[in-house]
Amino acid sequence: MNPSRHIKGVCIDYTHDGKGVVKHEGLPIFVPYLLMGEEAEILITNNRGKYAEGKITKRLTTSPQRVTPPCQYYEVCGGCQLQHLSYQEQLKMKKMRVAEVLRRMGDYNGKVDDIIPSDKPLHYRNKVQFPFGHDERGNLIAGLYQQGSHRIIDIDECLIENTEADQIVRLVKKLCIEHHIEAYDQKYRQGFIRHVMVRKGIVTNQLMVVLVTGKINFPERQIFVDALLKAFPNIRTIVQNINPEFTDVVLGYREHILFGDGYIEDELSGLKFKIAAKSFFQVNPFQTEKLYNRALSIANLTPTDVVLDAYSGVGTITLLAAKQAKHVTGVEIVRDAVLNAIENAKLNEIRNVSFIEADAAPYLVERAAKGKTYDVLFVDPPRNGCDEAFLKSVKVIKPKRFVYISCEPSSLARDIKYLSDTYEVKYVQPVDMFSQTYHVETVVLLALK
């Protein structure tokens, strides 16, 4: 099939990231914004051999599940992929994706529970990161990256982000324009402002503002601090993070606290948490409580259980599990998160916990070599899942119950398959943590065979 060819087809499936799938002469064609059952005229834009990519030139039929996207930037911004699909159908798609990936890649053909829906499918994110740049005319812009590119879409409001965070980004942008502060160009090491990150404590209403800059010298810092505090009295801290590196990583290693203590506090399931700029804390607090409650419920903890929480962040699961177990050890590689976790244990007067600053995989390898055992293991790893050394050590230590929280079904399926000679999947529960996007969180219980 040649590129730029027009075809007509009906959507029969979805890709992992929510594109419609049309088959033409046996070749699957991936088409953004096309829904199951819809027929369309399609322009083939790229033929990649095993599949092709296309775009709708004319939609001939309309699915009853199609809705008008509420966001004006939806089809140019890369933040969301499913706003054109009704929320109930989004949930069905995500459950189907989890079940299909686990079956195809994990050899799991058992039951997948209905996905836990969100009561707040818009404005749910408590953490916002907006890159700054310049448009073709040299004007300062701030927003989100266009799908599959590094082109910044200048936006005023993101419908999945916290509203106050959007307002703070707009104010920082206005201040930069007024004081002739340019966006940082990492290639030429020119300019200054690189990103603005905002975190909000949903229960406490506290705000953190992180100004990520390419250079240290910030003569206008007091002007920015005064303006931000005047407009948003609930700001608890303002941090300058310095990141001059040529990288896609948002935060650098150096920080200057411009106001406050460098952290905010929030509450989850009755516990208080201190959260620093670099700390991992789930971005959807409304769903996090549901997710963790389900994870703890299926772990079936007892007062005699010794528990390990790998990738423990600021200690959320560690401290929640400590309420029900004999002792819980949290392992986390980010030093700031470990320090926060220790503070969080003191803050909540929880003493049957330990926090270790270490990479989870080598730590578990070391514990396995020393003959250490655990009754229950919790993991909440990054998107690429657990590495083989970690999983190999799990087979040595053999915790009775293994609760795996995953934000990527494919790495979850791969890890389940690797463990299948030692562990049996007992329970699979998807959770809608990231409404309007194709991402889905899943919590799985594995039991020792």
pLDDT tens, 363-390? 998 998 999 999 999 999 989 999 999 9
DSSP string covering 81-139: S-TTB-HHHHHHHHHHHHHHHHHHHH---S--PPPB--S--SS-BSEEEEEEEE-TTS-
- Rounded to an integer, the average pLDDT of 150-176 is 95
pLDDT at 3 over 60: no
pLDDT at 229 over 70: yes
- pLDDT tens, 93-131? 999 999 999 999 999 999 999 999 999 999 999 999 999
Q: Which amino acid is at 249?
A: V
Average pLDDT in the chain: 94
DSSP SS3 for 283: coil
pLDDT score recorded for residue 337:
86
- pLDDT tens, 336-348? 889 989 999 999 9
Structure tokens at 161: 């982000």
- From 80, 158, 176, 407, the catalytic residue: 407
Domains of the chain: 6-59 (2.40.50.140), 90-119+284-448 (3.40.50.150), 127-265 (2.40.50.1070)
pLDDT score recorded for residue 377:
98
- pTM for the structure as a whole: 0.90
pLDDT at 81 over 70: yes
**Dihedral class, residue 249 (left if φ above 0, else alpha if ψ from -120 to 50, else beta):** beta
What span, in angstroms and rounded, lies between the C-alpha atoms of 19 and 40?
14
pLDDT at 357 over 90: yes
Q: What is the 3-state secondary structure (H, E, C) of 405-447?
A: EECCHHHHHHHHHHHCCCEEEEEEEEECCCCCCCCCEEEEEEE
- pLDDT tens, 168-192? 999 999 999 999 999 999 888 999 9
User: Any catalytic annotation for residue 158?
Assistant: no
pLDDT at 198 over 90: yes
Rounded to 5 degrees, φ, ψ at 414 are -60, -45
What span, in angstroms and rounded, lies between the C-alpha atoms of 104 and 113?
17
Structure tokens at 427: 């329970």
pLDDT score recorded for residue 1:
52
Q: From the DSSP assignment, how many helices (H) and strands (E) are in the chain?
A: 9, 21
The number of beta carbons lying within 10 Å of the beta carbon of residue 87 is: 17
What span, in angstroms and rounded, lies between the C-alpha atoms of 114 and 433?
14
